[in-house]
Amino acid sequence: MSSMNSVFLMGNLVRDPETRKTPAGVMVGDFSVAVSDPYKDKDGQAVNRTCFVDVVVWGRQAETCVAYLHKGSPVLVEGKLQLDQWKTDQGESRSRLRVRALRVQFLGRVMDAGKPASAPAAASVPAEVNEGIPF
């Protein structure tokens, strides 16, 4: 039987992304995304359920996320569900599910060092170019 492991999430960052480096020097970034799931309860009242999902990003993408994302940033994350398992110092087994991001799309305005990105300058058309246009 074949299987598929694909996750798409759209939501807002719960906190600023954090990074660390592996012993091999590879950058790893972590952040959490709040994903809303609106529905109507049995009485027809609108209810908004929120799910908090941990995301891990690797390499250059981790550096980019840390540079441009912050708490509240809207993102679209495409990735795979990953099960992490480990033992505590006391020998207890632990596990958690998180998304390993393959792609992170920034949905809001990109911020650069706390300053809003500047809008591209409008290109002006020289007057002589417009003279021959009949409309």
Question: What residue spans define the domains of the chain?
Answer: 7-109
CA dihedral defined by 57, 61, 62, 68, rounded to 10 degrees? -120
Place 15 in a pLDDT band, splitting at 50, 70 and 90. Answer: very high
Distance CA 44, CA 38 (A): 12
Q: Is CATH 2.40.50.140 what the domain over 7-109 is classified as, yes or no? A: yes
* Rounded Cα gap, residues 103 and 61, in angstroms: 8
For residue 27, report the phi and psi dihedrals to the nearest 5 degrees: -75, 135
Instruction: Tell me what pLDDT residue 103 has.
Output: 95
Q: Tell me what pLDDT residue 123 has.
A: 43
pLDDT, tens only, 47-87: 999 999 999 999 999 999 999 999 999 999 999 999 999 99
* Exposure string over 12-22, b if 16+ CB within 10 A, otherwise e: bbeeebeeeee
H/E stretch holding 87:
strand 74-87
Q: How far apart are CA 89 and CA 99, in angstroms?
A: 25
Give residue 132's pLDDT.
53
Per the CB < 8 A criterion, the answer to whether 68 and 112 are in contact is yes
Query: What gap in Å lies between CA 135 and CA 133, rounded to an integer?
Result: 6
Mean pLDDT score, 23-33: 94
Q: Which amino acid is at 54?
A: D
Q: Is the whole-model pTM more than 0.85?
A: no
